């Protein structure tokens, strides 16, 4: 059996490039997280090629210590509470599968599609300065690219590496409150390069 149908995916997701960087204008401060998803493959008759459809959810927490370090240069008691990135990839493309041995097949695929992403909400507290700020963002949907490959064993078990990349633009609104300085609100738009390498284990249904 060279082609599989539905496959459950799960494993580790490692931020790549600016997305996982801790310095620079586009540093995403993302930490290693997880990925879960579902893949469907449809064979192209009389070839070793197949159509591939994938839905993958990534979650990455944020390195809050870097943000706190910057704020503590203004207020030594500053603290930060921040959530996680949520990324939902919906992609489709073409793949191949080739028999390596009676119990192992090599596969690869190239996909395009959409990333629906959301940056985490963040609460910043500067007690010595009597300032509290809350930043939140609407979600963003942009074009994305995925490439992957791996080995499937006994037509049932799969291990593979899957790389996804996109550059969503988020509008982030920050509201600050202070009993001495008053309240304020500001918004900025910024693009966040978003890429991850996913080490995923699969189970063919």
pLDDT in tens, the chain (205 residues): 445 579 999 999 999 999 999 989 899 999 999 999 999 999 888 888 999 999 999 999 999 888 888 888 888 888 999 999 999 999 999 999 898 999 999 999 999 999 999 999 999 999 988 889 999 998 999 999 999 999 999 989 999 999 999 999 999 999 999 888 889 999 999 999 999 999 999 999 8
- Listed in sequence order, the residues at least 6 apart from 77 whose beta carbon sits closer than 8 Å to its beta carbon are 126, 127, 128
Q: What is the pLDDT of residue 71?
A: 87
The predicted model scores a pTM of 0.91
SS3 of 68, please? helix
Distance CA 105, CA 1 (A): 9
Q: What is the pLDDT of residue 180?
A: 83
In DSSP terms, 189 is beta-bridged to: 171
Q: What is the pLDDT of residue 130?
A: 87
Output the DSSP codes for 70-126. Answer: HHTTT-TT-EEEE-EEEEEEEEEEEEEEEEEETTEEEEEEEEEEEEEEEPPPEEEEE
Q: Say how many C-beta atoms besides its own lie within 10 A of residue 102's C-beta.
A: 7
Instruction: Check residue 32 and report its DSSP letter.
Output: -
Distance CA 127, CA 76 (A): 9
| The pair of three-digit structure tokens given for residue 15, joined into one six-digit string | 């931020």
Q: What is the pLDDT of residue 4?
A: 56
Helix (H) or strand (E) holding 65: helix 64-71
Instruction: Check residue 63 and report its DSSP letter.
Output: -
């Amino acid at each position: 059996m060279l082609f599989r149908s539905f496959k459950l995916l799960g494993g580790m997701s490692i931020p790549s490039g600016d997305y996982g960087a801790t310095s620079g204008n586009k540093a995403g401060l993302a930490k290693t997280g997880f990925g879960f998803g579902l893949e469907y493959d449809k064979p192209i008759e009389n070839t070793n090629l197949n159509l591939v459809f994938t839905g993958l959810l990534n979650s990455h927490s944020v390195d809050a210590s870097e943000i706190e370090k910057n704020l503590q240069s203004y207020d030594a008691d500053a603290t930060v509470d921040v959530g996680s990135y949520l990324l939902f990839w919906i992609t489709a493309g073409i793949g191949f599968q080739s028999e390596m041995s009676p119990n192992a097949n090599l596969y690869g695929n190239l996909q395009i599609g959409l990333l629906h992403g959301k940056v985490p909400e963040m609460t910043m507290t500067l007690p010595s300065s009597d300032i509290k700020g809350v930043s939140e963002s609407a979600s963003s949907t942009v074009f994305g690219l995925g490439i992957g490959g791996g080995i499937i064993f006994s037509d049932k078990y799969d291990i593979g590496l899957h790389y996804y990349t996109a550059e969503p633009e988020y509008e982030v609104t920050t509201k600050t409150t202070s009993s001495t300085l008053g309240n304020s609100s500001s918004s900025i738009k910024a693009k966040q390069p978003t890429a991850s390498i996913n080490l995923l284990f699969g189970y063919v249904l």
